[in-house]
Structure 1
Amino acid sequence: MIALALSILSSTMIFVVFKLFTKFKINTMHAIVMNYITACFCGIIFQENVISFSEIAQFAWFPFALCLGVLFITVFNLMAITTQRSGLSVVSVATKMSVVIPILFGLIYYKESLGIFKIMGIILALIAVYLASIKTNDGLKIKPSNIIFPVLVFLGSGIIDTTIKYLEDEFIAKNDTPIFSATIYGMAALIGVFFLIFQTIKGKFQFHYKNILAGIALGIPNYFSVYFLVQTLRSDIFDSSGIFTVNNVAIVMVSTLLGILLFKEKLLLKNWIGIGLAIISILLITITK
């Protein structure tokens, strides 16, 4: 339970840092690249047993980790495009609703239990995510020409969570979670660095120390959000479908409440209803254990 709480806390801190990007006029792409570099170094630092770089390529999970690294930075860019074209609420809903993909994977592939309370909890969790994420009275507005971007964010986010669960169960040794995470972030960082080099060649790159600091502030909780999620999946508090549901809905709930406390955000009635449903959904899922 502690690992789950720390995963939720780490993911919520990512939300807080992203919120501060706008206030301090941070170049998001530059900070994201530094974030991946920081997260990669965190994995290397926290790896208990010494592993050489040549050994890493021999792990069965290595090609999957490289693909995840590509997917991480690809989904991030899709999120940025979706935010620009359809708004932050659309990104939030697409990202959190993607929890249905690892839930279905757990139910089908691992044949996890599905009682009435769990079904009710999952349904209420999805409703809660939607209501808590929509900050306007008009709901979501997406032009038909832009619908592909939130769909790709939905699929990409869901595939990332599902793949992490699969690798954790099939390939990753207990002590190798840090180096596994470092490999994912290292690949994402490598792609990001090539992008920055391309910007430099084009004369569009401008260096600012604040982007470096912002990236470090983002990279630390980003690393631990994945690390503690893997630790939670290895625990026996719930099965994976329950863990992903509780994790996602709790992140939305806590992030929404922090938005009120730290950023003086004003919530609509449906946002409060969403928070209430989030609490009920968590209770329903936890009593099925």
Structure 2
Amino acid sequence: MYLLCSIVCSTLIFVIFKLLQAYNIKTLQVIVINYFFACITGLITYGGNITVNNTIKSPWFYGAVFLGFLFISIFFVMAKTSQQNGVSVASVASKMSVIIPIIFGIYVYHESTGLQKIIGILLALTAVYLTSIKSASKIDFKKNLLFPIILFFGSGIIDTSIKYLETTYVPENGIPLFSATIFCIAAIIGVCTLVIKKELLITPRAFVSGIILGIVNFGSIFFLLKALDHELFESSTLFTINHVGVVMLSTFTGLLFFKENLSKTNWIGIVIAVISIILVTLT
């Protein structure tokens, strides 16, 4: 259930960004407000006493600061990749990064590496690629190669760091506060960016959109952490299902609600994705 909720929340983030573009709402403003309300949602969800001193002294605090910086930095890299290389390249680079936490889980936590699981992971990577590319787009990774590479490693490091910190330092009842701290750091960096860009005049539509996005964004991280805390799946299995699930649900959402066209390649990717999930979950 936690994994399913994380997939739904992650997909809703893409839907909200699509709507922002349709209604011509400034994305940067929404992102900054989103981080503030994601932080507030985490603080409300947390049941314990909260003090700045205790939070700073928490063993996971500096890891949360690092993640907060990565969250907003990688988003800007994603935007830059989309502008210079195209949306398909950005999508493939970010989603293919799932291989990094998978390798980390297998190498560091000695998670299972049976033949069926390896085939499932390889099929999942193939499915992510085939489902993400659009027939009208040309995937040219050689053009402006720097940003796709940064996006690939940055996205992978985020997932890997979340897993490591959740396993090593974050207690089960501390997940909301840990998530809230990440978003707080990202919000502070975002405000500094708005000041530099002189875009502090927030429109009402951007404010409301930021609140909605913040709640959904918090849910995507919170439920992922809760899923990682569960013993049902190994992290390598969970990240595989999570990324493939988000790609599949996002694709079907675009098809049903935004009338996006799917090529034969995309449909092949979806079929392979289903097969990969079955292989990975049944190991």
TM range, smaller chain: over 0.9
Report the AA paired with residue 131 of structure 2.
A
Query: Following superposition of structure 1 onto structure 2, how do residues 98-117 of structure 1 map, counting pairs within 5 Å?
Result: 98-117=97-116
Residue in 1 that maps onto 2:279: 284
1:110-259 correspondence to structure 2 within 5 Å: 110-137=109-136, 139-144=138-143, 146-200=144-198, 205-259=200-254
Deviation at 1:28, TM superposition (A): 1.0
- In 1, the alpha carbon distance for the partners of 2:124 and 2:281 equals 13
Once residues 168 and 283 of structure 1 are traced to their aligned partners in structure 2, the CA distance between those partners, rounded to angstroms, is 26
Question: For residues 35 and 186 of structure 2, what CA distance do their matches in structure 1 show?
Answer: 6
Q: Give distance in 2, aligned partners of 1:258 and 1:286.
A: 24
Q: List per-residue Cα deviations over 1:171-210 (Å, max 9, x = no partner).
A: 001100000001000000001111112223xxx5543111
Q: Which amino acid aligns with 1:232?
A: A
After superposing on structure 2, the runs of 4+ consecutive aligned residues of structure 1 that deviate more than 4 Å are none
Give the Cα–Cα distance (whole angstroms) in 1 for the partners of residues 202 and 228 of structure 2.
39
Query: Which amino acid in 2 is paired with 1:180?
Result: F
CA–CA distance in structure 2, aligned partners of residues 19 and 277 of structure 1: 26
Please show how residues 9-88 of structure 1 align to structure 2 within 5 Å.
Answer: 9-88=8-87
The Cα offsets for residues 98-119 of structure 1, whole Å up to 9 and x where unpaired, read as 0000000000000100111111
Cα distance in 1 for residues equivalent to 2:238 and 2:89:
23
| CA–CA distance in structure 1, aligned partners of residues 25 and 148 of structure 2 | 24
**Residues 36 and 138 (structure 1), Cα distance of their counterparts in 2 relative to 1, 3 Å cut:** closer
Counterpart-to-counterpart distance in 2, 1:209 and 1:93: 34
Deviation at 1:143, TM superposition (A): 4.6
Q: How far has the Cα of 1:236 moved from its partner?
A: 1.7
Gaps of 5+ in 2: none
- Note the residue ranges of structure 1 that are not aligned, 5 or more in a row: none
1:269 equivalenced with 2:280 (yes/no) = no
Instruction: Name the CA shift for 1:52/1:78 in 2 (closer, same or farther; >3 Å).
Output: same
> Quick one: which amino acid aligns to residue 42 of structure 2?
G
Indicate if the aligned counterparts of 2:88 and 2:137 stay in contact, CA closer than 8 A: no
CA shift digits 1:190-244 (9 cap, x unpaired):
01111112223xxx55431111112112111110111011111111221000000
Of 128-137 and 245-254, more deviation after overlay is shown by 128-137
Task: State the shift of 1:138 in Å.
Answer: 5.1
SS in structure 2 of the partner of residue 266 of structure 1: coil
Aligned mates of 1:207, 1:169 — CA distance in 2: 38
The CA distance in 1 between the partners of 2:137 and 2:173, in whole Å, is 48
Aligned mates of 1:213, 1:238 — CA distance in 2: 36
RMSD (Å), alpha carbons: 1.1
Using the aligned pairs only, state the percent identity.
48
What is aligned with 2:89? 90
TM-score (norm 2): 0.97
SS of the residue 1:57 aligns to: helix
Q: How many aligned residue pairs are there?
A: 283
Cα distance in 2, alignment partners of residues 207 and 173 from structure 1: 37
Matching residue within 251, 255, 260 for 1:260: 255
Instruction: Tell me the SS of whatever aligns to 1:25.
Output: coil
Q: Give the AA of the match of 2:175.
A: T
In 2, the alpha carbon distance for the partners of 1:153 and 1:247 equals 18
Letter in structure 1 aligned against 2:30: A
Deviation at 1:141, TM superposition (A): 2.3
Distance 1:139 1:116, change over 3 A: farther
